[in-house]
Structure 1
Amino acid sequence: MLLKKSFRKKCLILGLTISLSIPTMAMGKESVSGLSSTNQSMDLIEQTEAFAVSKSINLLDIPRFVTKEQSKAVNKGLNIAKDKQNDRFVHNAVQFVTAMEAGKYGQALKFSSHALKKSISEQWLEIYWNTVLQQLHPQLGAFTGISGAEVIESNKVHTNVEVVLQFERGAYPFTIRVDKTGKINDFLLNSFFGPSAAEPAYSNPDLFTEKEVVIGKGEFALPGILSIPKGKGTFPVVVLVQGSGASDKDETAYALKPFRDLAHGLASNGIAVLRYNKRTFEHSVKTTADQYHTVDKETTNDALLATRLLEKEKKIDDDQIYILGHSQGGMMVPQMINQDKRDNIAGAIVMGGPARTIQDVILDQFDYLLSIGQLTPQDSAFFKEQFAMLNDPNFSGENPPAEFHLGQSVFWDSINDIKAAEMAKRQNNPLLIIQGERDYQVVSDVEIPIWKKELSDRTNVEYRLYPKLNHFFTEGEGEMSTPMEYFTPANIPEYVVNDIAAWVKSKPD
Structure 2
Amino acid sequence: MMMMKRSPLLIVLLAAALVVGGGIALVRHLLPPAATPAVADPTQAQRADAFLDLLDAGRYDEALAMGSPRLREALAGGKLQKVWETLPQQLGARQARGPIRGEAIDGHPILTSSLRFGLTALDARIMFDADGLIDGFRLVPAQAPATPATPERTERYAETAIAVGSPDGDLPGLLTLPAGAGRVPGVVLVHGSGAHDRDETIGPNKPFRDLAHGLAERGIAVLRYDKRSRVAPQRFAGGDFTVEDEVVADALAAVALLRRRAEIDPARVFVVGHSLGAMLAPRIAERDPQIAGLVLLAAPATRLEDAVLRQSRYLAQLHGTPDADTEAALADLERQRDRIRRLADEPDDGTPLLLDLPRRYWLDLDGYDAVATARRVGRPLLIVQGDADYQVTPEDDFARWREAFGEDRRVRLIRYPGLSHLLMPAGDRPGPADYAKAGHVADAVIADVADWIAQTPASP
TM-score (norm 2): 0.71
One-letter identity of the residue aligned with 1:421:
V
Counterpart position of 2:269: 321
Question: What do the CA deviations read for 1:360-389 (whole angstroms, capped 9, x no partner)?
Answer: 222211221121259711111111111100
The answer for the alignment partner of 2:243 in structure 1 is 295
For residues 329 and 429 of structure 1, the distance between their equivalents in structure 2, rounded to whole angstroms, comes to: 16
Among 201, 208, 212, the alignment partner of 2:157 is 208
- Inter-partner Cα distance in structure 2 for 1:195 and 1:308: 30
1:138 aligned onto 2:87 = no
8 Å contact from structure 1 (residues 17, 366) kept in 2: no
Counterparts of 1:385 and 1:469, CA distance in 2: 32
Equivalences for residues 130-169 of structure 1 within 5 A: 130=44, 137-139=50-52
Residue in structure 2 matched with residue 437 of structure 1 by the alignment = 387
Does residue 215 of structure 2 align to residue 244 of structure 1? no
Decide which of 369, 375, 380 is 1:419's aligned counterpart: 369
Q: 2:218 is paired with a residue of what secondary structure?
A: coil
Contact residue 300 and residue 336 of structure 1 kept, 8 A:
yes
Between the aligned partners of 2:144 and 2:340, the Cα distance in structure 1 is 38
Q: Which amino acid is the alignment partner of residue 394 of structure 1?
A: A
**Residue 504 (structure 1) aligned to one of 443, 453, 457:** 453
Alignment CA distance shift 1:338-1:403 (3 Å): same
Structure 2 CA distance, aligned partners of 1:400 and 1:17?
31
Tell me the CA shift for residue 393 of structure 1.
5.6
Alpha-carbon distance between aligned partners in 1 of 2:53 and 2:283, rounded to the nearest angstrom: 43
Q: For residue 231 of structure 1, report the CA deviation from its aligned partner.
A: 1.3
- Contact (CA 8 Å) 1:226, 1:273: kept in 2 or not? yes
One-letter code aligned to 2:251: A
1:14 Cα deviation after fit: 9.0
Q: Does 1:268 align with 2:217?
A: yes
Equivalent residue, structure 2, for 1:351: 297
CA contact (8 A) 1:18 1:362 kept: no
Q: Distance in 2 between matches of 1:411 and 1:315?
A: 37
> Matches of 1:352 and 1:235 in 2, distance apart?
26
| Cα displacement (A) at 1:321 | 0.6
How far apart are the structure 1 equivalents of 2:147 and 2:359? 39
Task: Indicate conservation of the 8 Å contact 1:239/1:274, yes or no.
Answer: yes
State whether residues 213 and 224 of structure 1, in contact with CA within 8 Å, keep that contact through their aligned partners in structure 2.
yes
Tell me by how many angstroms 1:137 deviates.
5.0
> Which secondary structure does the structure 2 equivalent of 1:211 belong to?
strand
Partner residue of 1:487 out of 423, 436, 450:
436
Instruction: Measure the CA separation in 2 of the matches of 1:485 and 1:198.
Output: 21
Note if contact 2:12-2:315 (Cα within 8 Å) is conserved in structure 1. Answer: no
Give the whole-Å Cα distance in 2 for the aligned partners of 1:422 and 1:469.
26
What's the secondary structure of 1:359's corresponding residue?
Answer: helix
SS of the residue corresponding to residue 426 of structure 1 reads helix
Structure 2 equivalent of residue 304 of structure 1: 252
Q: Secondary structure at the match of 2:195?
A: coil
- Cα pair distance change 1:14/1:318, threshold 3 Å: farther
Q: 1:59: Cα distance to partner?
A: 4.0
CA distance in 2, matches of 1:318, 1:392: 43
Rounded to whole Å, the distance in 2 between the matches of 1:187 and 1:225 is 27
* Residue matched to 1:171: 99
Q: CA deviation at 1:316?
A: 0.7
Cα gap change, 1:250/1:54 in structure 2, threshold over 3 Å: closer, same or farther? farther
What is the CA distance between 1:359 and its match in structure 2?
A: 1.7
Q: Deviations over 1:271-311 (max 9, x none)?
A: 0000011112222233222x321011101111000011112
**Is 2:175 the partner of 1:226?**
yes
Match of 2:227 among 260, 267, 278: 278
Structure 2: state its 5+ residue gaps.
Answer: 1-8, 56-95, 113-122, 124-140
Counterpart position of 1:385: 335
Q: Do the aligned partners of residues 63 and 305 (structure 1) sit closer, same or farther apart at CA in structure 2, a change above 3 Å counting? A: closer
Name which of 419, 423, 426 aligns with 1:473. Answer: 423
Letter in 1 for 2:402: K
In the superposition, relative to structure 1, how do residues 140 and 251 fare at CA in structure 2: closer, same or farther (>3 Å)?
Answer: farther
* DSSP 3-state at the match of 1:205: coil
CA deviation after TM superposition for structure 1 residue 205, in Å: 2.1
Q: Does 1:60 align with 2:34?
A: no
- Preserved CA contact (<8 Å) 2:34 2:196: no
Determine if contact 2:144/2:205 at 8 Å carries over to the other structure.
Answer: no
Query: Alpha-carbon deviation of 1:477?
Result: 3.6
* Counterpart Cα distance in 2 of 1:472 and 1:262: 11
TM-score, L = length of structure 1: 0.64
Corresponding residue of 2:42: 101
Matches of 1:490 and 1:236, distance apart in 2: 27
Question: What is the CA–CA distance in structure 1 between the aligned matches of 2:403 and 2:100, rounded to whole Å?
Answer: 48
Go from structure 1 to structure 2 and tell me whether the alpha carbon gap of 1:186 and 1:446 turns closer, same or farther (over 3 Å shift): closer
Provide the rounded CA distance (Å) in 2 between the counterparts of 1:260 and 1:427.
29
Aligned length: 370
Aligned partners of 1:268, 1:358: CA distance in 2, in Å?
Answer: 35
Percent identical residues: 29
Is 2:397 aligned against 1:464? no
DSSP-derived class of the 1:424 partner: helix
- Check 1:274–1:138 CA distance in 2 against 1; reply closer, same or farther (3 A cut): same
Unpaired runs of 5+ in structure 1?
Answer: 1-9, 23-45, 65-89, 103-129, 143-167, 178-184
- Say if 1:390 and 1:401 are closer, same or farther in 2 by CA, change over 3 A: farther
Instruction: Report the equivalent of 2:89.
Output: none
Q: 2:62 maps to which residue?
A: none
1:34 match: none
Amino acid at match of 1:173: R
Distance 1:405 1:136 in 2: 30
Q: Which residue of 1 aligns with 2:314?
A: 368
Query: Which amino acid letter does the alignment assign opposite residue 31 of structure 2?
Result: L
Secondary structure of the 1:251 match is: coil
| 1:386–1:406 Cα contact (<8 Å) kept | no
What code does the residue aligned with 2:424 have?
T
Separation in structure 2 between the aligned mates of residue 365 and residue 282 of structure 1, nearest angstrom: 28
Q: For the residues of structure 1 that align with 2:49 and 2:169, how far apart are their CA atoms?
A: 29
Indicate if the aligned counterparts of 2:12 and 2:316 stay in contact, CA closer than 8 A.
Answer: no
Whether the 8 Å contact between 1:238 and 1:271 is mirrored in structure 2 is yes
